[in-house]
Amino acid sequence: MQRSLKNNCRKIFITIFLIFSSISQHAIAACSASAATSPALLDYGTYASQNVPAGGISPNGTGVSANFSVTCSIGLTLQLLSTTSWVRYTAQNALTMSNGTDTISYTMGSNSTYTPAITASGQSIGGPTGFQLLTLALLTSGRIDIPIYVKTLTTTLWPSAGTYTGTQSLAVDGVMCTGLGLPGVCLGTNSISSTVNFSLKLIVSKSCEFISTPALVDFGVVSFVANANTAQLSATLRCTNLEDYLLYVDNGNNYASSTRRMKSPAGNYISYDIFKPSSTTPLNPLNTLSRLGTGISENIIFPFKVTTGQSTPVAGVYTDNVRVVIEY
């Protein structure tokens, strides 16, 4: 009996010694996040100003924009990640890009649905409770890669042209299990405290478009040309914020001797003029209206007047076709 008890004690002692040896070995495993994302520059490419306000522009379409890695001095495994391990990242900078004049905001997440999402400095994704960031991580060669998705938010105006840049720093913290004993039991952990950086770049080109122009400018029905109404052409357009553009009406289909003319089916003519808004200054391809875009819709009114001093021609319907032109 005495000998049997002695052997049992020796076995118990050896078992305890091996457990403590395992804890000591894994507790010293160091873990950290990469200093920058891959890629380090999130390049959106070039977009026309008119395509920016809708938002949703991403450097890689619907795919992952970038990722950062978490590594430990021991190889990470699915078993280690499935215990008490967790990771969180927190935005340290404002989520904006600027060209020095205007700003474009963006949001970021770790899945294509952006749930949850970060829209402001100080917000986080992941953590020991709630959304489990590690469920989205890709385990590769003993490290984990955390995906980052980035897309622009909506804007109220067409932003000014130029190169928009921004930088972001992510404070990454977490706890990684670095040793297992019994199934599902973590025997050692290591804390993560790192900063991950990336840059952003978006080039915006200038643009203009007509929103609406009338199909008809009507001088009315008169017996004498001297009694013709003053008509108006009202054009609604939108151009890139702070970008200059030229606006004019061409000379029409019946222009002759420096005069715009309406023509009847019988071949008779009535002369008319087009003027700059609230002015008596003629508007034509050689005397254009110079303006600065505001990034929002603008309504511009051009007066049309039948030229004074001309004789009333034979009765008929007199017409001309003109084109309103933006140059930018």
* pLDDT tens-digit readout, 185-222: 888 888 999 999 999 999 999 999 999 999 999 999 99
Token pair of 29 as six digits: 């495993």
CA-closest candidate to residue 76, choices 146, 124, 125:
146
Q: Are residues 319 and 220 in the same domain?
A: yes
> For residue 25, is it within any domain?
no
In contact, 328 and 161? CB cutoff 8 Å: no
The more confident residue out of 250 and 1 is 250
SS (H, E, C) the chain: CHHHHHHHHHHHHHHHHHHHHHHHHHHCCCEEECCEEEEEEEEEEEEEHHHCCCCCCCCCCCCCCEEEEEEECCCCCHHHHCCCCEEEEEECCCCEEECCCCEEEEEEECCCCCCCEECCCCCEEECCCCCCHHHHCEEECCEEEEEEEEEECCCCCCCCCEEEEEEEEEEEEEEEEEEECCCCCEEEEEEEEEEEEEEEEEEEECCEEEEECCCCCCCCCCCCHHHCCCEEEEEEEEECCCCEEEEEECCCCCCECCEEEEECCCCCEEEEEEECCCCCCECECCECEEEECCCCEEEEEEEEEECCCCCCCCCCCCECCCCEEEEC
Q: In terms of residues, how long is the chain?
A: 328
In contact, 191 and 173? CB cutoff 8 Å: yes
Give the per-residue pLDDT at 3: 44
CA-closest candidate to residue 136, choices 112, 172, 169, 165:
112
What CATH number has the domain bearing residue 252?
2.60.40.1090
Residue 263: pLDDT band by 50, 70, 90 thresholds? very high
Q: Are residues 177 and 217 in the same domain?
A: no
- Report the relative pairing of strands 143-152 and 103-109 from DSSP bridges: antiparallel
CA-closest candidate to residue 236, choices 293, 298, 296, 292:
298
Residue 6 has pLDDT above 60, yes or no: no
Place of tokens 């829209």: 119
Q: Are residues 56 and 139 in the same domain?
A: yes
Q: Which of 3-7, 132-136, 174-178, 244-248 has the lowest mean pLDDT?
A: 3-7
Tell me the per-residue pLDDT of 100-155, one tens digit each, with 9 for 90 and over.
999 999 999 999 999 999 999 999 999 998 888 988 888 887 889 999 999 999 99
Give the per-residue pLDDT at 150: 98
Q: Are residues 194 and 279 in the same domain?
A: no
CA distance 91 to 112: 18
Q: Are residues 218 and 88 in the same domain?
A: no
Token pair of 191 as six digits: 């804390």
Q: Using the 3D structure, point to which of 151, 185, 205 is the last residue of a domain.
A: 205
Residue type, 29: A
> For residue 1, is it within any domain?
no
Q: Are residues 44 and 184 in the same domain?
A: yes
Q: Are residues 98 and 174 in the same domain?
A: yes
Q: Are residues 63 and 149 in the same domain?
A: yes
Q: Are residues 36 and 173 in the same domain?
A: yes
Domain residue limits at 170: 30-205
Q: Are residues 258 and 184 in the same domain?
A: no
% the chain with pLDDT above 70: 90
Tell me the per-residue pLDDT of 15-73, one tens digit each, with 9 for 90 and over.
333 333 333 334 456 889 999 999 999 999 999 999 999 999 999 999 999 999 999 88
Give the per-residue pLDDT at 29: 64
Q: Are residues 38 and 135 in the same domain?
A: yes
Give the per-residue pLDDT at 75: 83
Number of structural domains found in the chain? 2
Q: Are residues 160 and 297 in the same domain?
A: no
Q: Using the 3D structure, point to which of 182, 205, 228 is the last residue of a domain.
A: 205
> For residue 285, is it within any domain?
yes
